[in-house]
Amino acid sequence: MSPLSTFLSKYYLSIGAGLLAYIIPIKADLIFVGSLVMFDWITGMMKGIKTSEFKSSIAIRKFWVSAGYLLGIFVAHSVELYLGSATPIVKPMVAIIAVAEIQSLRENIQILTGLDILKSVSGLFKKK
């Protein structure tokens, strides 16, 4: 057996518990961002098929951007843990990612359906 496999077989429970302890506090953030990314990816593929501009390279690039989002959240969580919970970093980062993804979803849905989803929402806040 290699030293790595010996190490993993000996400490796999501790490694798993450590990963769970690290991920559980940001689980909801990861699910939220992951959901937005998946909806954007699906609607982007539908838009590409509708406009005949679908390229697998664009879909692959979106995958790497999404992986970068999740890695960024992990790094932000690590910095937040290092600085203490009094310094929020993960939530603002998730908000920035959400705004970018919602704007991309808006563009995709607008091309697919012809409706601007934010225009009807902003109409609720206008004075009559």
Go through the chain and tell me how many residues it has: 128
pLDDT of amino acid 117: 74
How much is the pLDDT for 52?
86
Domain extents in the chain? 26-124
The pTM for the full model equals: 0.81
Task: Give Cβ neighbours of residue 8 (< 8 Å, ≥ 6 apart).
Answer: 15
For residue 117, give both structure tokens.
């989803």
Secondary structure (3-state) at 127? coil
Residue 118 pLDDT > 80: no
Name which of 39, 51, 57 is nearest 104 in CA terms. Answer: 39
What integer is the mean pLDDT of 123-128?
A: 66
State the chain's mean pLDDT as an integer.
Answer: 89
CA distances from 88 to 6, 20, 82 (A): 39, 21, 11
pLDDT tens-digit map of 40-84: 999 998 998 888 888 888 888 888 999 999 999 999 999 999 998
Q: What is the pLDDT of residue 122?
A: 64
Q: 3-state DSSP call for residue 52?
A: coil
Q: What is the pLDDT of residue 87?
A: 82
The token duo for 108 is 């995709």
User: Among 32, 34, 22, which Cα is nearest to 78's?
Assistant: 22
What pLDDT score does 114 carry?
Answer: 85
